[in-house]
Amino acid sequence: MVSLVVPRKDCKIKSCYVHVPFCKKVCSYCDFCKNYYDEQVVSNYLDALKIEIKNNYKGEVLNTLYIGGGTPSCLSRDNLKELFKILRTLKLSKDYEFTFECNFEDITEELLSFLKENRVNRLSIGIQSFNKKYEKVLNRIIDKEKIIKNVSLSKSYFDNVNVDLMYALPNESINDLKEDLMVIVKLDVAHVSTYALIVEDHTKLKIDKIKETNEDLQNEMYYEIIKELSKNGYEHYEISNFAKTGYESKHNLTYWNNERYYGFGAGASGFVENKRYDNTKSIKNYISGKTIVYEEILDKKTLMKDEVMLNLRKTSGINKETFKNKYNISFDKAFNYKDLKLKGYLNENEANVFIPENKLFISNEIIIMLLENII
Q: How far is the CB of 168 from ligand SAM (least distance, A)?
A: 8
Tell me which of 143, 164, 224, 273 binds ligand SAM, using CB under 6 A.
164
The three-point CA angle 264-271-289 to 5° equals 35
Q: 3-state class of 137 per DSSP?
A: helix
Q: How far is the CB of 322 from ligand SAM (least distance, A)?
A: 28
What's the alpha-carbon Rg for the chain, to the nearest Å?
21
Beta partners for residue 17, in sequence order: 66, 263
Q: How far is the CB of 172 from ligand SF4 (least distance, A)?
A: 17
Rounded Cα distance between 146 and 128, Å, is: 14
Q: Which stretch binds ligand SAM (CB under 6 A): 67-75, 110-118, 241-249, 317-325?
A: 67-75
Q: Which stretch binds ligand SAM (CB under 6 A): 2-10, 66-74, 149-157, 211-219?
A: 66-74
Contacting ligand SAM within 93-122 (CB under 6 A): 101, 103
Tell me the one-letter amino acid at 237. Answer: Y
312 Cβ contact partners less than 8 Å away, ≥ 6 residues apart? 318, 354, 355, 363, 366, 367, 370
Nearer to ligand SAM, 126 or 263 (CB): 126
In the bound state, the residue with its beta carbon closest to ligand SF4 is 30
Per-residue x/- marks for ligand SAM, 184-223, CB under 6 A?
-----------x-xx-x-----------------------
Site membership for ligand SAM, residue 267 (CB under 6 A): no
102 phi and psi angles, rounded to 5 deg: -130, 145
Question: Which of the listed partners (ligand SF4, ligand SAM, none) does 197 bind, with a CB threshold of 5 to 8 Å by partner kind?
Answer: ligand SAM
Nearer to ligand SF4, 195 or 277 (CB): 195
Q: How far is the CB of 62 from ligand SF4 (least distance, A)?
A: 24
Contact 19, 6 (CB under 8 A): no
User: How many chain residues are in contact with ligand SAM, going by CB under 6 A?
Assistant: 17
Nearer to ligand SAM, 57 or 195 (CB): 195
Question: Which of the listed partners (ligand SF4, ligand SAM, none) does 195 bind, with a CB threshold of 5 to 8 Å by partner kind?
Answer: ligand SAM
243 Cβ contact partners less than 8 Å away, ≥ 6 residues apart? 190, 191, 192, 234, 235, 237, 249
In the bound state, the residue with its beta carbon closest to ligand SAM is 126
Contact positions vs ligand SF4 (CB under 6 A): 23, 26-27, 30, 32, 34, 69-71, 126
DSSP 104: G
Nearer to ligand SF4, 13 or 42 (CB): 42
DSSP 316: T
Q: Strand ranges (DSSP E) for the chain?
A: 15-20, 22-23, 35-36, 61-69, 91-103, 122-128, 161-167, 191-196, 235-238, 241-243, 261-264, 269-272, 275-279, 292-297, 318-319, 347-348, 352-354
Question: Which of the listed partners (ligand SF4, ligand SAM, none) does 277 bind, with a CB threshold of 5 to 8 Å by partner kind?
Answer: none
Q: How far is the CB of 307 from ligand SF4 (least distance, A)?
A: 29
Annotate 165-225 with DSSP letters as a single string.
EEES-TT--HHHHHHHHHHHHHHT-SEEEEEE----TTSHHHHTTPPPPPHHHHHHHHHHH
Tell me which of 17, 22, 29, 222 binds ligand SAM, using CB under 6 A.
29
The residue ranges that bind ligand SAM (CB under 6 A) are 29-30, 32, 68-71, 101, 103, 126, 128, 164, 166, 195, 197-198, 200
